[in-house]
Amino acid sequence: MLHRTHSDRCLDLTDLLNLACDPANSETAMTLQVAPARTTAMRKPKAPEANRARIVAAATAEFASRGFKGASMDAIAARTSTTRALINYYFGSKEKLYLEVLERVYAEIRDAERDLELDHLPPAEALRSIVEFTYNYYVDHEYFVRLVVAENQAKGRYLKRSPTLRTVNRPIVDMLGGVLARGQAVGLFRRDADPIDVHLAIAALGMFNVTNQYTFGTLFQREMGAKGDVPRRRELVTEMVLRWLEPASVS
């Protein structure tokens, strides 16, 4: 999560993205302070956590829009009315900033999933909650989907360089595994269901609504993404996953 300086309160990345995308917003204005003329050393910036949070938010918008190669450090600086020098002061390089963005956005969805509190729900309802949450998350956090697409276009080369990203996504697999095990124990879910396969199906069906909204929508004259019939398509995806998980009928 993104933390304010000297407190445990969190800064919401979605709100910061809205601020970062508007360079004219006075609240995002930051300037690089330099030492007096007698020295070229840079003073330590004030409010470092707030500055880092704004830069990450601006970088998230830029990388989601243009991918790693297309993203411009000057554009990120402009989004926060700061300089490349300050960005490098905090993050070291464009690649390190990009990895910071990837780690943050993946951590955010995993953190949100932990708030689902599924243990008290019957297995089918728990799984339904996961599917519906995931579908809604992709619609509401389109920048996350676009970053995933961008990193796939880069063949995952940057993601592979982050030890954090090798473990941050394990909780959703464990969560699905627990729900599946409960359902399998009472004969509700097929025995050969694998949590990673189920996660793949949920992610693929949910992301399509965002990644293909323009091509599919144009070809078939259907509104997609947040403009489409979200409740109907979310229910379709949920039913597809639940029906696939049903055990084969015994003849």
Q: How far apart are CA 63 and CA 72, in angstroms?
A: 8
Tell me where in the chain the CATH 1.10.10.60 domain(s) lie.
Answer: 2-92
Query: Tens digit of pLDDT per residue, the chain (251 long)?
Result: 444 433 333 344 554 554 444 444 433 333 333 333 333 345 566 777 888 999 999 999 999 999 999 999 999 999 998 899 999 999 999 999 999 999 999 999 999 999 998 999 999 999 999 999 999 999 999 999 999 999 999 999 999 999 888 899 999 999 999 999 999 999 999 999 999 999 999 999 999 999 999 999 999 999 999 999 999 999 999 999 999 999 987 44
Instruction: Give how far Cα 202 sits from Cα of 131, 137, 178, 197, 241, Å.
Output: 6, 12, 16, 9, 7
Instruction: Give the class (CATH, top level) of 107-245.
Output: mainly alpha
Tell me where in the chain the CATH 1.10.357.10 domain(s) lie.
Answer: 107-245
Q: Return the structure tokens found at 87.
A: 């960005």
Tell me whether residue 43 is exposed, middle or buried, using C-beta atoms within 10 angstroms of its C-beta: 0 to 12, 13 to 18, 19 or more. exposed
Chosen CATH of 2-92 out of 1.10.10.60, 1.20.1510.10, 1.10.10.10, 1.10.730.10: 1.10.10.60
User: Which among 201, 182, 183 is positioned nearest to 247, based on CA atoms?
Assistant: 183
- The pLDDT of residue 220 is 95
Place of tokens 């070229």: 40
Query: For residues 96 and 4, is the Cβ–Cβ distance under 8 A?
Result: no
- The pLDDT of residue 39 is 37
Residue 46 backbone dihedrals phi, psi, to 5 degrees: -80, 160
Q: Who contacts 63 (Cβ-Cβ below 8 Å, separation ≥6)?
A: 71, 98, 101, 147, 150
Place of tokens 């029906």: 243
- The pLDDT of residue 17 is 54
Q: Return the structure tokens found at 119.
A: 């243990």
The size of the chain, in residues, is: 251
Q: How far apart are CA 243 and CA 231, in angstroms?
A: 18
Q: How far apart are CA 106 and CA 164, in angstroms?
A: 10
Dihedral sign, CA of 225, 226, 231, 232? Answer: negative
Q: How far apart are CA 97 and CA 11, in angstroms?
A: 18
